[in-house]
Amino acid sequence: MGLDMYAWKTKTEDITKDDNEHIELAYWRKHNRLHGYMSNLWESKGYPNNRDEDYQFNCIPMELNKQDLLKLRQAIKKKEMPDTMGFFFGHDSYDEGEYQKEVDKYDLKFVTDGLRAIRQGYKVVYDSWW
């Protein structure tokens, strides 16, 4: 068990519908800072996220718009994603050296692919399961 995170593009109206219209953009495993960033984004969009109760940002797809992805790109480049702890989240997902460069490169590719998908008329969606 652990934190699994997904991003996909779709042209379906209902982003919660699991169907053949979802095209994977990215998959992460225990990238807790990215999930913390997305959880904060979820809250900033006005959705509930009470970390002390049963209801949390888990298994709930969230659409990302162009502005969301541009802000994410800045957070990645400036290393401003929040340290996020959780039983299933693993160790801190920031690391120095070559591994971190690969993680950042992958995350930035997701942002680029997501922005391209939006320009092509797709919706970009983030989801997680832990």
- pLDDT (tens digit per residue) in 33-44: 898 899 889 989
Q: How far is CA 34 from CA 21, 53, 121, in A?
A: 25, 21, 25
Q: Which residues form the domain of 15?
A: 4-129
The token pair at 112 is 């680029």
Q: Using 50, 70 and 90 to split pLDDT, how confident is the model at 50? A: low
CA 47/CA 107 separation, integer angstroms: 24
What pTM was computed for the model? 0.83
Q: Using 50, 70 and 90 to split pLDDT, how confident is the model at 87? A: low
* Beta strands per DSSP E along 30-122: 62-64
Q: How many structural domains are present in the chain?
A: 1
CA 56/CA 52 separation, integer angstroms: 8
CA 101/CA 24 separation, integer angstroms: 22
